[in-house]
Amino acid sequence: MLSALLVSVSAGFATASRAAETAYDWNDDSAGTASAQTIILKCLDDQEDGDRYQCIPKAIVICVTQYDNGSQNQMAVNTCNGYSAWAWENILDDVYNRLIKSGRAPKDIDKSQSMWSAWSKLDCETISNYDGTRAAMDSAYCTTKHAAERVFDLLPLVPH
């Protein structure tokens, strides 16, 4: 289950993120998404030659330690996963649009993106199709993971 994976991955970042992270704005969806996006982009910059996969849960981990005064209750975890999913989707949209605007996009990239999007949506709906307070978290983390991996797939195609 994705929630178990998230807990496992998050454990490695939790201590470090509590100690020295900037306080971010998690007051509403717009601010929370912008904060998550800032964290992700900073992480990607820091990991340019390293393991970018470390950046996938980074915003979630920081958000959970700060949102609702660090309560880390299920609502906070669900909310933070949502902010991360929206942020990764924004980053994906930006990378995809830069690729299209570059004029160097592979043939049929629009068809590929459309098919990828349909697959991702269905996969995440399938994974989180159960009753329970953690279903929203599983859905959002699935979206986060899929969008991040798609960013990693498309980024090398974007001319610098």
Dihedral-angle region of residue 101 (phi above 0 means left; psi in -120 to 50 means alpha; beta otherwise) = alpha
H helices of 21-57, where? 29-46
Output the pTM of the full model: 0.86
Quickly list DSSP for 113-125: HHHHHHHHHHHHH
- How far apart CA 117 and CA 135 sit, in angstroms, is 20
H or E segment at 110?
helix 109-127
**pLDDT tens digits, one per residue of 35-85:** 999 999 999 999 877 799 999 999 999 999 999 999 999 999 999 999 999
Q: 137 near 82, Cβ under 8 Å?
A: no
The model's confidence at residue 26, banded by pLDDT at 50, 70 and 90, is very high
